[in-house]
Amino acid sequence: MQLRFTKMQGAGNDFVVLDATQQPLDLTPEQYRQLGDRRFGIGADQILVVEKSRTPGVDFRYRIFNGGSGDEVEQCGNGARCFVRFVRDRGLTDKKVIRVDTMNTLLELRLQDDGRVTVDMGAPIFELPQVPFDPQGLSPRRHGDIELWPLDVGDGVIDDVAVLSMGNPHAVQVVDSVDHAPVEVHGPLIEADPHFPRKVNAGFMQVVSRSHIRLRVYERGAGETLACGTGACAAVVAGIRLGLLDKRVDVDARGGRLTIEWQGGDSHVLMTGPAVTVFEGEISL
Ligand SMILES: N[C@@H](CCC[C@H](N)C(=O)O)C(=O)O
């Protein structure tokens, strides 16, 4: 099978984007893994599939597959921004505000005049079964407006991990320095911690000031990426609930900057950042 694709990136989090608006696409997890493979395929953190939505009033359906595992997942923030650029550049819509169905949420995506994209990521979710997180055998510690959990990481226990969902599961901890955080060692252990039945994305956040953090994320099904949009939202929400951050925060990931805004409570998290097309091509699968 010959497949046309577009390679895109948002703050260095990279994607293979496939247009399935004209023809349905039914790839296996192995084929998604192959597309994501940096040596035997194209190479990408995630594969994004653009489909027509079946919901009235919704423009598109947006499906996300992790490049490392080939598994379909619920949400991808940086991918959502690339999604907007893709559907606009290909002439699939001329709207500046686009409504998109994902596996479990409806997203509203807004193209700014400066070319950046703002995504309404919805409200953060703290209900543990919805994350999903099974706290059996663990006792939390209350800090500020949030519960922090201990997680076993083989060579010890990390005491203060915030657990929440931005549509997909996140475990966020504050570290002194992201440069020295054991992301490669603890990341995979946290990802596979049995208290997370669907695994988890592991965030390591350094608070620089009340409006600025540095962040590294070990992504479920992809390993450490240069940026993670939902990870940035989860980190800022956790930091605000901990009383460490203001309502608008610049997040510096290794691949670029995202700006996250959250007014607290049930309000929605807004994420703004870049979305860039890198190249187009065709691959045989
Ligand atoms: N890169 C992403 C998140 C992609 C999905 C994630 N690895 C998961 O399994 O939940 C982002 O920008 O949010």
Q: Which pair of structure tokens corresponds to residue 27? A: 């790839």
- Answer yes or no: is 219 a known binding residue: yes
Give the pocket of ligand 1 (CB within 6 Å).
13, 45-46, 66, 73, 76-79, 168, 201, 219-222, 225, 228-230
- Answer yes or no: is 78 a known binding residue: yes
Distance CA 269, CA 248 (A): 10
Task: Specify the pLDDT at position 155.
Answer: 84
Choose the residue to mutate in 109, 201, 216 for probing ligand 1, maximizing ligand atoms within 8 Å of C-beta: 201
**ipTM confidence:** 0.99
What's the gap in Å between 77 CA and the centre of ligand 1?
7
Helix (H, G, I), strand (E, B), or coil: what is residue 28?
Answer: coil
Closest by CA position to 183, among listed 253, 272, 131: 253
For the chain, what is the total number of helices (H) and then of strands (E)? 4, 19
Residues 6+ away with beta carbon under 8 Å from 13: 45, 46, 78, 79, 225, 226, 227, 228, 229, 253, 255
Low-confidence ranges of the chain (pLDDT < 70): none
Q: pLDDT, tens digit, for every residue of 211-249?
A: 999 999 999 999 999 999 999 999 999 999 999 999 999
Strands 13-19 and 46-52: parallel
- Ligand 1 atom closest to the Cα of residue 13 is 1
Closest by CA position to 58, among listed 87, 89, 22: 87
Phi-psi category of residue 80: left, alpha or beta, with phi > 0 → left and psi -120 to 50 → alpha: alpha
- Answer yes or no: is 13 a known binding residue: yes
- Which listed residue (82, 109, 205, 228) is catalytic? 228
What's the gap in Å between 16 CA and the centre of ligand 1?
14
Residue nearest to atom 9 of ligand 1 (CA): 220
- Answer yes or no: is 104 a known binding residue: no
Strands 2-10 and 13-19: antiparallel
- Ligand 1 atom closest to the Cα of residue 231 is 13
What's the gap in Å between 49 CA and the centre of ligand 1?
14
Task: Specify the pLDDT at position 33.
Answer: 98
Task: Specify the pLDDT at position 9.
Answer: 98
Could you give the domains of the chain? Answer: 2-121+274-284 (3.10.310.10), 128-267 (3.10.310.10)
Tell me, yes or no, if 76 is annotated catalytic.
yes
Task: Specify the pLDDT at position 131.
Answer: 98
pTM value > 0.90: yes
- Answer yes or no: is 77 a known binding residue: yes
Residue nearest to atom 8 of ligand 1 (CA): 220
Helix (H, G, I), strand (E, B), or coil: what is residue 265?
Answer: coil
Residue nearest to atom 5 of ligand 1 (CA): 76
What's the gap in Å between 155 CA and the centre of ligand 1?
27
Q: What is the largest CA-CA distance in the chain?
A: 54
- Ligand 1 atom closest to the Cα of residue 225 is 1
Task: Specify the pLDDT at position 23.
Answer: 87
What's the gap in Å between 108 CA and the centre of ligand 1?
17
Q: pLDDT, tens digit, for every residue of 53-75?
A: 999 999 999 999 999 999 999 99
